[in-house]
Amino acid sequence: MQAVRSILLLLSLTLSVFTGYSHASRTTLGSVDANGVNVFYREAGPSDAPILLILHGFPSSSHQYRNLIPKLADNYHIIAPDFPAFGFTTVPASLNYTYTFASLANTLSDFLDALDITSFAVYIFDYGAPVGLRLALQRPDLDIKALITQNGNAYEEGLGTTWAPIQAYWKSGSAEDREVVRSNVITASAVKSQYVDGTPSDLVSQIAPETYTLDWATISPADAQEIQLDLFYDYRHNVELYPQFQEWLRQSGVPVLAIWGANDAHFVWAGAEAYARDVQDLQLVKLDAGHFAAESHAEEIANNVLAFLKDHRY
Ligand SMILES: *[C@@H]1O[C@H](CO)[C@@H](O)[C@H](O)[C@H]1NC(C)=O
């Protein structure tokens, strides 16, 4: 049996050498200790290729990029972590982890250190935007070669009217307003609407129900809901940092591809156009898509990202 297995292995290795077939586009799953947090991540592409770090949004995880990742992995080493409170990243209770965006950025920083990553392009979306931009502010030693923002907001005009109940909670900090946010955002139908709303009708049926069903399974337990509400309350500190994010965009001269689901009700198209105020080297791409554009438009996004990075010799 052992001998048969060895022969089969040898055969497959030989075949891969002769056919040039590689496993570059296979996504592997792993986890690493980041200062006590067990960070789960998806990884794909040649290990010696330039790194593209891909950051997910609420209420999803790296799972939201399962279709996009293989389309980018021929020429890039893709790293897509799950933030604490999302996906399969686990935080031991003994850490007394405080669920703030500052903490998520610290964990991302620890995660990159654990993998010895210092130079990369980064794709930001939704929560991934403030986490990634906080990282840029607090780690000037990191060499960030390019920024791809897909509905990754850094401007007040990018906040859609759906933020109103959350903004009211920021103002009052009251238990009543926390419950209003819960009933608006932490429900199965609100999670589904994030995926479906704004998606062209002929593509809605293509959105896998596993996406919002698994997201809801992750955020619906009682303790998980409180963590998510803590993050919504803390989000106000991201908005306070927008001027610093914009300053970083100006000072760093980082090239930016803003590729935006223009029908997103949470981060509206004006938020994409606003990047032009601070970014010298900006490419704007408007997609007929909603918030989770990577679910409905993975092909278009991948083609634009690959062309943009190639144009910038990355
Ligand atoms: C977490 O909190 C408990 C109780 O307050 C304390 O005993 C423990 O030392 C804390 N752990 C850490 C890692 O700070």
Listed in sequence order, the residues at least 6 apart from 202 whose beta carbon sits closer than 8 Å to its beta carbon are none
Q: Which of 94, 95, 98, 106 to mutate to test the pocket of ligand 1 (most atoms within 8 A of CB)?
A: 94
Q: Please give the domain boundaries of the chain with CATH numbers for all domains.
A: 2-162+239-311 (3.40.50.1820)
pTM of the model: 0.92
pLDDT at 24 over 60: no
**312 in catalytic set:** no
Q: Mutate which of 35, 91, 95, 96 to test ligand 1's pocket (most atoms within 8 Å of Cβ)?
A: 96
Distance 95 CA to ligand 1 centre (A): 7
At 15 the pLDDT is 41
Catalytic residue, candidates 63, 266, 291, 297: 291
Ligand 1: residues with CB < 6 A are: 94-96
Residue 23 pLDDT > 90, yes or no? no
Quote the ligand 1 centre to 97 CA distance (angstroms). 10
88-112 pLDDT per residue, tens:
999 999 999 999 999 999 999 999 9
pLDDT of residue 175: 98
Reduced to 3 states (helix: H, G, I; strand: E, B; else coil), residue 30 is: strand
Inform me whether the pLDDT recorded for 10 exceeds 90: no
Which protein residue has the closest C-alpha to ligand 1 atom 5?
96
- 8 A C-beta contact, residue 314 and residue 146: yes
Mean pLDDT on 166-182: 98
For 109-238, strand residue ranges (E) read 119-124, 143-149
pLDDT per residue over 225-274, tens digit each?
A: 999 999 999 999 999 999 999 999 999 999 999 999 999 999 999 999 99
pLDDT in tens, 119-149: 999 999 999 999 999 999 999 999 999 999 9
SS3 content of the chain, % helix, strand, coil (to 5): 50, 15, 30
198: CA distance to ligand 1 center in Å? 45
Whether the CB-CB separation of 248 and 133 falls below 8 Å is answered with yes
Number of the ligand 1 atom closest to the C-alpha atom of 96: 1
Two structure tokens written together for 178: 């926390």
* Distance separating the N- and C-terminal Cα atoms of the chain: 46
Name the more confident of 155 and 10.
Answer: 155
Ligand 1: nearest atom to the Cα of 36 = 13
Give the distance (Å) from ligand 1 centre to CA of residue 42.
31
